[in-house]
Amino acid sequence: MRIVIGEGSCGIAAGALKIHNAIEKFSGGKYSAEIGITGCIGMCFLEPIVDIYDGEKLVKRLVRVPETEAENILEAAETGDFSAVSHLEISKEDAEFLALQKRIALLGCGKTDPTSIDDYIKNGGYSAFRKALESAPEEVIEEIKISGLAGRGGAGFPTWFKWDFARKNESKTGKKYLICNADEGDPGAFMDRAIIESDPHRLIEGMLIGAYAIGASEAKIYVRAEYPLAVKRLRNAIEQAEKAGFIGENILKSGFSCRFEIKMGAGAFVCGEETALIASLEGERGMPKLKPPFPAQKGFKEEPSNINNVETFANVPWIIGNGGEKFAAIGTENSKGTKVFALTGKVNRSGLVEVPMGTSLRDVIYKIGGGIKNCGNFKAVQLGGPSGGCIPESLLDTEIDYKALAETGAIMGSGGMVVMDESTCMVGMAKFFLDFTAEESCGKCVHCRIGTKRMQEILTKFVEGKGTKEDLELLEELCEAVKEGALCGLGQTAPNPVLTTLRYFRDEYEEHIFEHRCRAKECQAMLSYIISAEKCRGCTLCAKKCPVNAISGELKKPHVIDKNACIKCGACSKICRFEAVSIE
């Protein structure tokens, strides 16, 4: 038997290392079970997770495992009697989270040991790279073309075209560069991090195939410094690949040579844009440049360069190993293959989801995600992070497809999927993303630097109950101006959350302006706290808890709140045991 602990960032945060240490401690030579680790299985809502294998067969999956169960787990693995840990077994409903998915980019996540190249090779790793080396670079690019793989970083640009463009452009020095964009900055997105932490050799293999195809002798991975575990495992994987002969000079005696380097970014959102990323790689401030020339013409060090994101490269080994036609058979006419999403927010089962293109948003949220938390009502789903838009319930049957999503006003983006219920204020949501993009603007172009700031100021007026009809008209005008005039994708897409909320939730804006009311009861400035005389028992707890002494009343008699003194902190509502405090 083999005991495998899920040790991605989510698992570690939930206590996986404590469980691992406890199992190691109790094992002490007494038990024969092998103890290993894996990365993020994707079921973040069930962490910590412990899997028990018999050979390569998964026998039991234990979820939300406390360290106190370590000895019982060892005993169960030793004897095959799982009765003592039956209360930890994954439920049939939760198991559907994975059963309903189609995994390609996440194929090794939760299965492979991310610290072992031998485990990766045992599961077919680097066989696609060997296959690619037996073909001409043009043949590799043709296979990617047949697959229909499009960039998974958000733009959805055909991968083969970028590779072919970089290959055909001549280098002045004989050097070309392959760059991986792992600068994942969208709030609520963690797809790239999970792939690197859980299956780093798959990324390396995909990059090696890409480097061979375009003729690049150097591969660079630009990853944010906020991902320490991902960086640690990636460094280890690169060292292992070098020792195994997959990285370096004359790889596998093919005549192809390639070196890898990791560059840690400081977390600037704008560095997700190609030209800004290249500037940062070169030691300059991360700011975008006008295109053309494109990176495939003049990229890193003015040489032909190709940039794709982590998920794009993670698809490549499967495509080369299984054939482009098999990948193209998955998905829709406009969007081939699968897409990984970070499913978060007011959903019962949050985590990493990989589904075929063409799957409806409703199926992802309700079948895989298990519906809305606390039996709440769905309100909207935010796709594409700060660059995306909010899709209402009426459009939940929209397919996951680049064209179909664009028609709603949202975008696929890199894969953030934030689910909201009726407790979410859509005006506040738009402001949240504008706060982010205004902060992250590099300031190079006026439309983005000033336009996003003005939009942010107007949204602030709305949530404070100070907005006017004229402000609403100006906001729409600014959205269109910024979208048309900004230099790069950050500014061009920054208005999307505002435009989609105006399109589908305009009534909430109007309530904020004309009625000074927030139906979700999130905008503090428009809330009033009232104590019910019928329900109040005069216990005085609320008066004692109030930080500004805005509550008065005698013991065992109904209390009242001075609305002029109230700072709307909500302390009274939280502490009242009789539900006497209401919010209007």
Q: Would you say 350 and 372 are in contact if contact means Cβ atoms under 8 Å apart?
A: no
Q: Would you say 478 and 455 are in contact if contact means Cβ atoms under 8 Å apart?
A: yes
Dump pLDDT digits (tens) for 253-285: 999 999 999 999 988 889 989 999 999 999 999
Closest CA relative to residue 46, chosen from 13, 94, 83, 5: 94
pLDDT score of 189 more than 90? no
The alpha carbon of residue 47 and the mean position of all alpha carbons in its chain are separated, in whole angstroms, by 17
pTM of this prediction exceeds 0.85? yes
Dump pLDDT digits (tens) for 466-507: 999 999 999 999 999 999 999 998 899 999 999 999 999 999
Closest CA relative to residue 176, chosen from 146, 148, 214: 214
Q: Report d(CA 350, CA 129) in Å as an integer.
A: 33
pLDDT at 267 (0 to 100) = 82
pLDDT band at 28 (very low <50, low <70, confident <90, very high): confident
Dump pLDDT digits (tens) for 413-464: 888 899 999 999 999 999 999 999 999 999 999 999 999 999 999 999 999 9
pLDDT at 524 (0 to 100) = 86
Dump pLDDT digits (tens) for 322-344: 999 999 999 999 999 999 999 99
pLDDT score of 155 more than 80? no
* Mean pLDDT within 174-196: 91
For the chain, first and last CA: distance in Å?
Answer: 59
* Mean pLDDT within 295-324: 96
pLDDT at 3 (0 to 100) = 97
pLDDT at 457 (0 to 100) = 96
User: Which distant-in-sequence residues (6+ apart) come within 8 Å of 193 by Cβ?
Assistant: 9, 184, 227, 230
CA distances from 15 to 4, 26, 65 (A): 14, 17, 9
Q: Would you say 30 and 77 are in contact if contact means Cβ atoms under 8 Å apart?
A: no
pLDDT at 411 (0 to 100) = 87
Q: What angle do CA 15, 342, 323 make, to 5 degrees?
A: 115
β pairing state of 529-531 and 34-38: unpaired
Retrieve residue 308's tokens: 């794709």
Q: Domain 2-90 falls in which CATH fold?
A: Glutaredoxin (3.40.30)
pLDDT at 387 (0 to 100) = 84
pLDDT score of 156 more than 90? no
Dump pLDDT digits (tens) for 361-403: 999 999 999 999 999 999 999 998 888 899 999 999 999 999 9
User: Which distant-in-sequence residues (6+ apart) come within 8 Å of 148 by Cβ?
Assistant: 158, 324, 327, 328, 331, 335, 336, 337
User: Which CATH number fits the domain 338-421, given the four candidates 3.30.470.20, 1.10.3720.10, 3.40.50.1240, 3.10.20.600?
Assistant: 3.10.20.600
Residue 574 is inside which H or E element, if any?
helix 571-575
HEC profile for 142-174? HHHHHHCCECCCCCCCEHHHHHHHHHHCCCCCC
Q: Domain 528-583 falls in which CATH fold?
A: Alpha-Beta Plaits (3.30.70)
Q: What is the CATH number of domain 117-327?
A: 3.40.50.11540
Domain ranges of the chain: 2-90, 117-327, 338-421, 426-515, 528-583
pLDDT at 414 (0 to 100) = 81
Listed ranges 186-190, 272-276, 352-356; the one with the highest mean pLDDT: 352-356
Closest CA relative to residue 501, chosen from 379, 405, 584: 379
Considering the segment(s) 426-515 as one domain, its CATH architecture is: Up-down Bundle (1.20)
